[in-house]
Amino acid sequence: MIAGFIGREAELSLLRKRLDRVAATGAGTAMTVRGRRQVGKSRLVQEFCDRAAVPYLFSTATKGASPVEAVTSFLADLRESALPGVRQPLIPQDSVGTWPDAFRVLASVVPEAPCVVVLDELPWLAEQDALFDGALQTAWDRLLAARPVLLLLLGSDLHMMSRFTRYDQPFFGRADTLELGPLTPADTGDALGLAAADAIDAYLVSGGLPGILRTWPHGMRALDFLRAECADPAAALFSVPEAVLLAEFPNPDVSRRVLEAVGAGDRTHANIAATAGSREGALPAGTLSPILRRLTADKRVLAIDEPLSTKAGRPALYRIADSNLRLYLGALRAAHEYARRGLPDAGFRIVHRRWAAWRGRAAEPLVRRSLEQAALSGQLPWADVQVVGGWWNRRFDPEIDLVGADKGPVARKLYFAGSIKWLGTPFDGHDLSALRRAVVQVPGYDAAATGVLVASLSGIAADIDRGSLDQLWGADDVVMAWRNRNEQP
């Protein structure tokens, strides 16, 4: 099992910079820290507070609490914090009833030296009290902004956290934003002591979520971990994605049906509409389109891919954004049911049977993002590549896994095209011939100027001349792209 804190050095450095700014100016700085559930926001900020060596208050909201209960809990956290002023008899034992009063109490005990104030689960506070946002803005402007306070506002509801600092909201212009993503494949491999290919498998299975990785035995490969977890109905591998679903979609409504359809493998608007429909027929476009926009733009539980070329293309394809949730919906949920019934071998057989196809598809967006990272940091020979995607037509014949371009989804120029083969067999001459026949259909492809890039888990076969490829990427290259990003100043 992983002991201690995993990765996040860049994020810790960013928070330290903000605290140094507070120390240098004597004035307050506010920052929102947002990210999807289970990504490790609270753990990151707690680690920062532990390392910062300054007094801090860490207060976490309770979902569903009344405004009076929320204020009472905040004052209790304040009394138990390390802020020096709490030793004075200024903090009432009972709730003062309102957030303006609570923030005045906070301001009365803030020291003259730098300190940190953390409000965790901020959206829950805003849900409980319609006046909370305005009260926080007023307290910040009049009482705290001129004091040496680093105010960290944490939240998992990405839409509400984005709304909190929007131009028409009270806290607009008052806070920087740190959006926390999952741990990288490089962090995952380092934490678990795994070589690149196994680190990528572990990343895909866990989604890079610390709550799952902390339960992963050091050096254990993904399939062995999956087999072991299928014998434990309470395993984090099951409980983490289940908790995400319950938090984001507590009711079995149409949004949940749409998510289930995508998790089952439906990618196009038409197929999702058919699967998520009812006995009366497919979901009408007027119902489905707003739901898809909400799940992609607001919830970010879905991602959308569009064909990348020099001409606008269709159709757009949808996928579950988090690979762990995708695995849960596609296989782990069924395995979990068997685990609850005391049939772990039957559960693992489901996972094992779907493993190769799931991994091959799940690796594609990771490889594309890795190539984007490499291009933007100058590791690829095409200096002007800004976006990496794929291309397909309405018949999905052919589908091109990799297209590198200057912008998307409609590019001015394509710099490379290629294939991803993330299977146990190498990329061979038949694969290369099929790729060469297919890429000529991509709008903007130029045989004389567009490079050929292959990403293969098992390398290339002996019947391929390495010189016929402009770039060959393997697992080591994918992980290195993220390691280089982590090490950038």
**Long-range Cβ contact pairs of 126-134 (< 8 A, separation 24 or more):** 126/160, 126/164, 127/63, 128/61, 128/64, 128/65, 128/66, 128/67, 128/70, 129/67, 129/70, 129/99, 131/98, 131/99, 132/67, 132/99, 133/164, 133/169, 133/170, 133/171, 134/170
3-state secondary structure of 65: coil
User: Using CA atoms, how far apart are residues 52 and 147, in angstroms rounded to an integer?
Assistant: 18
> CA angle at residue 36 from 315 to 406, to 5 degrees?
45
Cβ-based neighbours of 211, under 8 Å, separated by 6 or more: 38, 40, 236, 240
Taking the C-alpha atoms of residue 402 and residue 367, their distance in angstroms, rounded to an integer, is 9
pLDDT of residue 489: 35
Decide: 183 and 199 in contact? Cβ < 8 Å.
no
**Residue length of the chain:** 489
pLDDT digits (tens, 9 = 90+) for 226-280: 999 999 999 999 999 998 888 888 888 899 999 999 999 999 999 999 999 877 7
Q: Would you state the pLDDT for residue 86?
A: 55
Q: What is the CATH number of domain 9-179?
A: 3.40.50.300
**Residues 410, 306 contacting (CB under 8 angstroms):** no
User: From the CB of residue 134, how many other CB atoms can be counted at a distance below 10 Å?
Assistant: 15
Please indicate, yes or no, whether the overall pTM of this predicted structure exceeds 0.85: yes
The CATH T-level fold of domain 365-487 is: Trna Endonuclease; Chain: A, domain 1 (3.40.1350)
C-alpha–C-alpha distance, residues 64 and 111, integer Å: 32
List the end-to-end C-alpha distance of the chain, in Å, as a whole number.
30
pLDDT, residue 141, reads: 95
- Based on its alpha-carbon atoms, the radius of gyration of the chain, rounded to whole angstroms, reads 25
Q: What are phi and psi of 275, to 5 degrees?
A: -70, -40
C-alpha distances in Å from residue 93, one per residue of 67, 76, 121, 146, 195: 16, 8, 23, 27, 54
Q: Distance (Å, rounded) from C-alpha 277 to C-alpha 449? A: 46
For residue 315, cis peptide bond before it (omega within 30 degrees of 0): yes
Let me know: does 180 contact 150? Beta carbons within 8 Å: no
pLDDT tens track for 450-470: 999 999 999 999 999 999 999
Question: What pLDDT does 37 receive?
Answer: 82
Residues 6+ apart with CB under 8 A from 482: 184, 185, 186, 187, 370, 373
The tokens of 120 are what?
Answer: 């965790």
Low-confidence residues in the chain, pLDDT < 70 = 1-4, 85-96, 484-489
Determine contact, residues 422/321, Cβ cutoff 8 Å. Answer: no
How far are the Cα atoms of 306, 314, 404, 441 from residue 392, in angstroms, in the given order? Answer: 9, 8, 14, 9
Nearest to 402 by CA among 461, 467, 471: 471
Query: Residue 15: in which H helix or E strand, if any?
Result: helix 9-25
242: left (phi over 0), alpha (psi -120 to 50) or beta: alpha
pLDDT of residue 399: 96
Residues of the chain with CATH 3.40.1350: 365-487
State how beta strands 317-320 and 302-305 pair: antiparallel
Q: Check if the beta carbon of residue 326 is closer than 8 Å to that of residue 263.
A: yes
List every span in the chain annotated with CATH 3.40.50.300. 9-179
- Dihedral Cα 199, 201, 204, 207, nearest 10 deg: -50
Q: Are 117 and 149 in contact (CB under 8 A)?
A: yes
pLDDT at position 253 is 86
Closest C-alpha to 266, from 299, 315, 207, 202: 315
Cis peptide before 233 (omega within 30 of 0): no
Name residues whose C-beta falls within 8 Å of residue 247's C-beta, 6 or more positions apart in sequence. 37, 156
What is the C-alpha to C-alpha distance for residues 250 and 256, in angstroms, rounded to an integer? Answer: 9
